[in-house]
């Protein structure tokens, strides 16, 4: 609804306009009305008015005076004037000062309806253009900040861009990992909003902070604190608890050390990533500070990061034989290490089982999967020899792997629905098949096969079609440059975008835009 103000010194006219015109059906809300220019100016200052419908001929100050106020102080407000027949020349003159159009008294309601429908199209177009331009600025900002964090470009690349100031003052970086379940992707926007609201509440006491969205699951924040950030870890932990309680989504957080040199930003980003990884490895919600990691004693870790990654890769491939073979390799490696005993083997077996259960729970719809890790642990500890520990663990992992295959087979439609939703809402990002498979916890080879089976298209073709359809819509806005549209739909090179566009549509972007005439 566009908010409108009616200004006329004749009360009968005002009442008639309010009573006999269905403004809501036309897309407008009459916020209020007044009888003088001075009153109108006060209302404009106190309300977000989109449209002013004003009489020209009023005592003391005329509608023309109001048009001048709109031009100088409220240039975004559209105006339509009411004019008596004798004021026609005056009305024509008013059009030169930015007035959208004029109506003559007595008002012809058919003419009024047609005029305000025409104005709404102009307002809608302006609003869409502003939204698109804002989207472009936000996407561009996010790309630049991501590149700065990764060290690809220097912080000076952001000078004078969208009022962002990366300066040599104390700052630190927070990184968050959001562990959605596969059946939560329909709600991921609302979950993100909850996280942003909680974060904004925590960070509002700091002088400046900038969000960087890396992907749907990972978010970073560059924070410039005014003073010492006491209790920040506790507040962030409360955020994690709130999100878990309200959405059943696990959030882990890593915080970097503080630095004064903005050129060290990629180093701080890496440090916050190390803290985040340690937080994730705890298999529970936690907030870890990089500085606190330095005091940790060396202790036995059942799996290295690489081994955990490989184990998950075998699990996600849905190849039970390969998964069990790699599990057996890991268990045997620990078993044959003369320094390590049964306790370390127990720890590894529990770790492998927990990772498997957590992975399966991502696909658990309507409580299809239940596994009591406590019961498993009790039964595991009954095994006293290394061979029996390994056999018991492998049998459990074998059963879990088969259970995973059954669950995924039964929820394949949900997986592809989530994939399509993710693509439609993130087409402008760099979403390769591998990155999508990471988000959906599915091996890329299996995801590719499943995607083709359910949609009739391969993944790249579907993503390209979505991007090109979005580009076709954006090309209708002639204020947008083609290089801007290139970035808005997820391509880095305008030349490559034009090539893909022509292969898909049969015309270059410019030719397509020209054809719209």
Question: What pLDDT band is residue 366 in, cutting at 50, 70 and 90?
Answer: very low
Beta bridge partners of 251: 178
Residue with the bigger pLDDT between 60 and 302: it is: 60
Q: How many angstroms separate the CA atoms of 151 and 6, rounded? A: 55
The reported pLDDT for the residue numbered 363 is 67
The reported pLDDT for the residue numbered 497 is 94
The reported pLDDT for the residue numbered 340 is 75
39-43, 108-112, 340-344, 509-513: the lowest-pLDDT one: 340-344
The domain covering 165-293 belongs, at the CATH homologous superfamily level, to Reverse transcriptase/Diguanylate cyclase domain (3.30.70.270)
Residues 163-222 have pLDDT tens digits of 677 888 899 999 998 887 655 555 677 788 888 888 888 888 777 888 888 777 888 999
Residue 352: partners with Cβ closer than 8 Å, 6 or more residues away:
302, 303, 311, 327, 330, 331, 393, 397
Q: How many angstroms separate the CA atoms of 282 and 216, rounded? A: 21
Q: Please check the confidence at residue 298 and state whether its pLDDT lies above 80.
A: no
**In a 10 Å sphere around its CB, with 0-12 CB exposed, 13-18 middle and 19+ buried, how is residue 252 labelled?**
buried
Summarize the confidence of residues 464-484 as an average pLDDT. Answer: 90
The reported pLDDT for the residue numbered 367 is 46
Q: How many angstroms separate the CA atoms of 117 and 115, rounded? A: 5
Picking from 268, 287, 282, the residue whose alpha carbon sits closest to that of residue 212 is: 268
Report the SS3 class of residue 174: strand
Cα dist from 212 to 170, 196, 219, whole Å: 19, 12, 6
Alpha-carbon 223 to chain mean position: 19
Q: Which DSSP string do the residues of 100-120 spell out, in sequence order?
A: -EEEESSP-HHHHHHHHHHHH
Rounded to the nearest 10 degrees, the angle between the axes of helix 232-247 and helix 188-203 is 160
> Is the pTM value of this prediction over 0.85?
no
The reported pLDDT for the residue numbered 507 is 94
Question: What pLDDT band is residue 92 in, cutting at 50, 70 and 90?
Answer: low
Q: State which H helix or E strand residue 454 sits in.
A: helix 444-455
Summarize the confidence of residues 284-296 as an average pLDDT. Answer: 77
Residues of the chain with pLDDT > 90, as a percent, come to: 32
Q: How many angstroms separate the CA atoms of 151 and 430, rounded? A: 18
Answer whether 34's CB lies under 8 Å from 44's CB.
no
Mean pLDDT of all residues belonging to the chain: 84
Answer whether 328's CB lies under 8 Å from 457's CB.
no
The reported pLDDT for the residue numbered 88 is 60
What are the structure tokens assigned to 444, written together? Answer: 């890329």
The domain covering 412-515 belongs, at the CATH homologous superfamily level, to Homeodomain-like (1.10.10.60)
Residue 151: partners with Cβ closer than 8 Å, 6 or more residues away:
266
Summarize the confidence of residues 263-280 as an average pLDDT. Answer: 86
Report the SS3 class of residue 123: helix
Answer whether 219's CB lies under 8 Å from 231's CB.
no
Picking from 292, 265, 277, 252, the residue whose alpha carbon sits closest to that of residue 210 is: 265
**In a 10 Å sphere around its CB, with 0-12 CB exposed, 13-18 middle and 19+ buried, how is residue 354 labelled?**
middle
For the beta sheet containing 250-255, the strands, ordered from the edge strand earlier in sequence to the opposite edge, are: 208-213, 218-224, 172-179, 250-255, 287-289
Residues 304-338 have pLDDT tens digits of 778 888 998 899 888 899 999 999 999 999 888 87
Q: Which pairs count as long-range contacts for 341-350, CB under 8 Å and 24+ apart, including other chains?
A: 342/384, 342/386, 342/389, 344/300, 344/302, 345/386, 345/389, 345/390, 346/380, 346/381, 346/389, 347/300, 347/302, 348/302, 348/303, 349/380, 349/389, 349/390, 349/392, 349/393, 350/302, 350/376, 350/377, 350/380
Q: How many angstroms separate the CA atoms of 316 and 363, rounded? A: 11
The reported pLDDT for the residue numbered 159 is 65
Residues of the chain with pLDDT > 70, as a percent, come to: 88
Summarize the confidence of residues 133-137 as an average pLDDT. Answer: 64
Q: How many angstroms separate the CA atoms of 215 and 448, rounded? A: 20
Q: Please check the confidence at residue 98 and state whether its pLDDT lies above 70.
A: yes
Q: How many angstroms separate the CA atoms of 357 and 369, rounded? A: 9
Summarize the confidence of residues 18-26 as an average pLDDT. Answer: 92
- Matching CATH number, 2-126, of 1.10.3720.10, 3.40.50.620, 3.40.50.2300, 3.30.365.10: 3.40.50.2300
Specify which of 83-97, 126-140, 477-491 reaches the highest per-range mean pLDDT: 477-491
The reported pLDDT for the residue numbered 369 is 62
Summarize the confidence of residues 98-107 as an average pLDDT. Answer: 84
Answer whether 177's CB lies under 8 Å from 218's CB.
yes
Identify the residue whose tokens are 């402008």.
428
What b/e string do you get for 196-222 counting C-beta neighbours within 10 Å, with b at 16 or more? eebbeebbeebebbbbbbbbbeebbbb
Picking from 282, 291, 280, 231, the residue whose alpha carbon sits closest to that of residue 252 is: 280
The reported pLDDT for the residue numbered 78 is 93
Summarize the confidence of residues 432-449 as an average pLDDT. Answer: 83
């Amino acid at each position: 609804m566009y908010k409108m103000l009616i200004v006329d010194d004749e009360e009968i006219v005002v009442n008639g306009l309010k009573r006999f015109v269905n403004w809501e059906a036309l897309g407008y809300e009459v916020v209020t009305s007044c009888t003088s220019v001075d009153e109108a100016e006060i209302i404009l200052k106190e309300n977000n008015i989109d449209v002013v419908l004003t009489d020209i001929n009023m005592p003391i100050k005329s509608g023309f005076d109001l048009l001048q106020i709109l031009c100088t102080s409220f240039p975004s407000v559209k105006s339509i004037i009411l004019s008596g027949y004798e004021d026609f020349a005056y009305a024509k003159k008013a059009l030169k000062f930015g007035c959208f159009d004029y109506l003559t008294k007595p008002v012809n309601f058919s003419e009024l309806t047609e005029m305000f429908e025409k104005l709404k199209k102009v307002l809608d177009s302006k609003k869409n253009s502003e939204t698109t331009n804002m989207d472009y600025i936000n996407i561009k900002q996010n790309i630049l900040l991501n590149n700065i964090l990764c060290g690809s470009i220097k912080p000076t690349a952001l000078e004078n861009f969208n009022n962002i100031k990366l300066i040599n003052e104390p700052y630190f970086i927070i990184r968050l990992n959001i562990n959605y379940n596969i059946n939560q992707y329909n709600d991921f926007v609302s979950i993100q909003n909850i996280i942003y609201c909680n974060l904004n509440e925590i960070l509002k006491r700091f002088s400046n902070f900038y969000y960087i969205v890396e992907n749907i699951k990972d978010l970073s924040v560059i924070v410039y604190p005014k003073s010492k950030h006491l209790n920040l870890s506790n507040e962030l932990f409360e955020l994690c608890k709130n999100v878990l309680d309200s959405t059943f989504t696990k959030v882990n957080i890593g915080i970097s050390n503080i630095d004064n040199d903005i050129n060290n930003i990629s180093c701080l980003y890496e440090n916050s990533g190390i803290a985040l990884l340690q937080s994730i490895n705890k298999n529970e919600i936690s907030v870890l500070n990089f500085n606190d990691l330095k005091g940790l004693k060396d202790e036995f870790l059942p799996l290295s990061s690489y081994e955990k990654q490989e184990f998950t890769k075998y699990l996600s491939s849905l190849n039970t034989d390969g998964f069990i073979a790699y599990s057996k390799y890991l268990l045997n490696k620990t078993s044959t290490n003369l320094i390590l005993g049964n306790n370390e083997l127990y720890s590894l077996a529990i770790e492998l089982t927990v990772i498997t259960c957590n992975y399966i729970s991502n696909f658990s719809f309507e409580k299809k999967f239940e596994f009591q890790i406590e019961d498993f642990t009790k039964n595991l500890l009954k095994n006293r020899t290394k061979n029996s520990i390994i056999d018991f663990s492998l049998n459990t992992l074998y059963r879990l792997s088969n259970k995973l295959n059954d669950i995924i087979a039964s929820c394949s439609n949900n997986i592809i629905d989530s994939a399509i939703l993710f693509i439609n809402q993130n087409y402008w990002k760099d979403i390769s098949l591998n990155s999508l498979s990471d988000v959906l916890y599915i091996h890329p080879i299996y995801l590719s096969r499943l995607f083709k089976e359910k949609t009739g298209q391969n993944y790249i073709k579907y993503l390209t079609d979505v991007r090109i359809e979005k580009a076709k819509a954006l090309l209708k806005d002639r204020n947008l440059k083609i290089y801007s549209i290139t970035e808005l739909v997820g391509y880095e090179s305008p030349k490559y975008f034009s090539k893909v566009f022509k292969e898909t549509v049969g015309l270059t972007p410019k030719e397509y835009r020209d054809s719209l005439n």
